[in-house]
Amino acid sequence: METGELVAGSMSRAVAGLLFDPSSAVVQLDDRLSGVLREAAITAADLPLTWERARAGAVLAFAAELAVTRSHQGRGVRTDGFFSVRSMARSAAERLVESAVRAARDTTEDRQVRHLGYLVAEVVVSPDIDSALAVRGLQLAESCSWRQLALLSAVGRRERAPLPLAPLDDEPRSWRAWGARQDLADLQRAGLLDPSPAAPRSGSAALPRLRPADLRLTRRGVLVHRLLALDFVREDDVLSALADLDLAAS
């Protein structure tokens, strides 16, 4: 957990105290959740690579952070058997945490680790999210780059922070804008954003260019946005992703 400070900052040490010395902690975490996170931290301590340990510790710290926040908001840890060991050797909660730690270890984008931890916290307070749906959400999250998650965050907050009306070039000149436009198109093709990419027909008139303001989250996009708590993506990251689309040149 303390190695997680490389990614999560000083909060990682605070969570270490919460998990391993709860009697001295200022805030409290549900015993079932803290037990699962503590066991995952003990296992991750044996990882040989420093940055893998750091990301593993950080994802557990971020999970604890949001779980505490959700508890203060009146959303306690679910009581539907998610933490119970039934037909398998481990509970659904243990398997979810293991999957999130693995995803965090594998990513090279440290900013993504925060939201992988948030996914754990969101699932453990959401009885409407079953194990299979949680796995689907995690798989979709892993398929997205950090810039794509920031773009999803931008669309998700469009009601309070309107998106630009300027149309996007389908083939922008700069490589940065071209790459960002490809990221956006991939989100559309993956069914995370509407409208789907328009395919021109032979001999038909040119299609109107897409405007960011026209984008909407699909239900699949809403799932990713919710589970990863993308409302918490920092404003500067959202603005940077939008700037990469090079709207001024459109």
Tens of pLDDT along the chain (250 residues)?
Answer: 889 999 999 989 889 989 998 877 778 899 999 999 999 999 999 999 999 999 999 999 999 999 999 999 999 999 999 999 876 688 999 999 999 999 999 999 999 999 999 999 999 999 999 999 999 999 999 999 999 999 999 999 998 888 988 888 878 889 999 999 999 999 999 999 999 887 666 655 556 788 999 999 999 999 999 999 999 999 999 999 999 998 754 4
Sign, Cα dihedral of 169, 173, 175, 176: negative
CA distance 3 to 246: 38
CB 3 within 8 A of CB 57: yes
Q: Which amino acid is at 248?
A: A
Contacts of 41 by beta carbon, 8 Å cutoff, 6+ apart: 1, 16, 19, 56, 57, 60
Token look-up 């689907």 returns 136
CA distance 150 to 156: 10
Q: What is the largest CA-CA distance in the chain?
A: 73
Say what the pTM is. 0.92
Q: Which amino acid is at 124?
A: V
Cα–Cα nearest to 223, from 101, 138, 121 = 138
